[in-house]
């Protein structure tokens, strides 16, 4: 993309799937395609799409990881963004709009990429409905109290990115009432939503964010729950 050319914004009224170059669940990717979701590949994610015979609407990135650029010339839009200040995942978010965005292939291959993508989730999850889906988890950014009608018995993990103390919780096997979590000290992994619905509420005055990882089986519930942010 030329520096003096206004970037194209891909705007959708349906769910958007951003495909990265990490581990991708083929069945999930094809499910999204069958259901009519928009698909954008983040640079090397195009290699995954080619392997799975999925044609994305666009390929966005600095194009340093795409295996066969010529293959895509008449199959998808190639949007090259040469600057190195942002990752390919972030470039896709900057150049797209959708009511809900699910990123896959953003974890598993490299730890540094996984951590960077979680950081992007933290930053952009306040601006749009965004989640990272892995083979096992659905990871979302939460701010303030969080209530969710999960499938009974779903695994729930609460991952702090700053010190946080919880006022109360409901529906969890291991209550978070009065529990303090902090990076490098204590995290809340492998909890369980015993009957499905659960609530976690930080103490009054906490205005930061934290991550919640839920069993990926809850993806459809999260996607259709427009009350979540």
For 171-191, what is each residue's pLDDT tens digit?
999 999 999 999 999 999 999
* Residue 2 pLDDT grade (very low, low, confident, very high; cuts 50, 70, 90): very low
CB contact at 8 A, 38 and 12: yes
Task: Give CATH 3.40.50.10240 domain extents, the chain.
Answer: 10-135, 141-224
Please tell me the predicted confidence (pLDDT) of residue 5: 62
Q: Is the pLDDT of residue 7 over 80?
A: no
C-alpha span between 208 and 77 (Å, rounded):
37
Alpha carbons within 13 A on the beta-carbon side of 211: 24
C-alpha span between 223 and 220 (Å, rounded):
5
Report the CATH number of the 10-135 domain.
Answer: 3.40.50.10240
- Which phi and psi angles does 174 have, rounded to 5°? -115, 100
CATH 1.10.730.10 fits 141-224, yes or no: no
The string of pLDDT tens digits covering residues 216-227 is 999 999 988 643
C-alpha span between 171 and 194 (Å, rounded):
6
């Amino acid at each position: 993309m030329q520096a003096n050319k206004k970037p194209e914004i891909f705007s959708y009224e349906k769910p958007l799937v951003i495909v990265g170059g990490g581990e991708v669940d083929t069945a999930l990717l094809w499910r999204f395609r069958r259901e009519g979701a928009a698909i954008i590949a983040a640079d090397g994610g195009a290699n995954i799409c080619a392997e799975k015979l999925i044609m994305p609407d666009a390929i966005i990135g600095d194009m340093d990881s795409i295996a066969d650029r010529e293959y895509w010339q008449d199959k998808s839009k190639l949007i090259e963004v040469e600057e190195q200040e942002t990752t390919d995942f972030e470039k896709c978010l900057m150049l797209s709009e959708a009511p809900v965005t699910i990123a896959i292939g953003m974890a598993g291959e490299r730890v540094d990429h996984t951590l960077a993508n979680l950081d992007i989730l933290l930053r952009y999850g306040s601006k749009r409905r965004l989640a990272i889906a892995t083979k096992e988890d659905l990871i979302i950014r939460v701010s303030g109290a969080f209530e969710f009608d999960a499938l009974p018995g779903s695994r729930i993990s609460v991952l702090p990115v700053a010190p946080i103390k919880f006022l109360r919780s409901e529906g969890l096997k291991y209550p978070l009432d009065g529990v303090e979590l902090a990076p490098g000290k204590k995290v809340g992994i492998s909890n369980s939503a015993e009957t499905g619905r659960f609530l976690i509420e930080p103490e009054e005055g906490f205005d930061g964010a934290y991550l919640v990882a839920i069993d990926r089986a809850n993806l459809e519930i999260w996607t259709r729950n427009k009350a979540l942010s």
